[in-house]
Amino acid sequence: MPKQILIVDDSCIFRKKLREILGQEPGWEVCGEASNGSEGLEKVRQLQPDLVVLDLSMPGMNGLDMAEEINQILPDLPLLLFTNYDANSLKREGLFAGVRKTLSKSEPVGTLIKSIHGLLDVA
């Protein structure tokens, strides 16, 4: 059974591109998308994904707040914060929120794929 990945990002264009990229990886399937943290939380409860890729800056509930909420209900669910902001400066804050990996959207696609493999292989 393929590993289920949920994408939470307020950019429709970005979600579509990320769905395309992740869908090409054998053994992975994008099970859903959400455009904000509140919708993302509902999708997590509904879909029970194996991993969530979430953006930091979203309307309403941001990615760190969403991570804290998810961590309370599903503490073993791997979360990857994928952001336009400086990933290095957010790593510590992300860890406190329950994020296992923080990456900049400017990183090469291969870095994202490798990071997701690492998170899914541990989960």
Summary mean pLDDT of the chain: 91
Segments of 19-100 assigned E as strands: 28-34, 51-54, 79-83
**Position 123 pLDDT exceeds 60:** no
Name which residue leads in pLDDT, 92 or 119: 119
**Position 113 pLDDT exceeds 60:** yes
Distance CA 101, CA 26 (A): 21
Residue 51 belongs to domain with CATH number: 3.40.50.2300
Q: Report percent pLDDT > 70 for the chain.
A: 92
Distance CA 54, CA 64 (A): 9
Segments of the chain assigned E as strands: 3-8, 28-34, 51-54, 79-83, 101-104
Q: Is residue 53 a contact partner of residue 5, using CB atoms and an 8 Å limit?
A: yes
What single-letter amino acid sits at 32? Answer: G
Print the domain residue range for 47. Answer: 3-122
When divided into structural domains, the chain yields a total of 1
pLDDT digits 0-9 by tens, 32-81 = 999 999 999 999 999 999 999 999 888 888 899 999 999 999 999 999 99
Distance CA 86, CA 40 (A): 23
The per-residue pLDDT for 100 is: 93
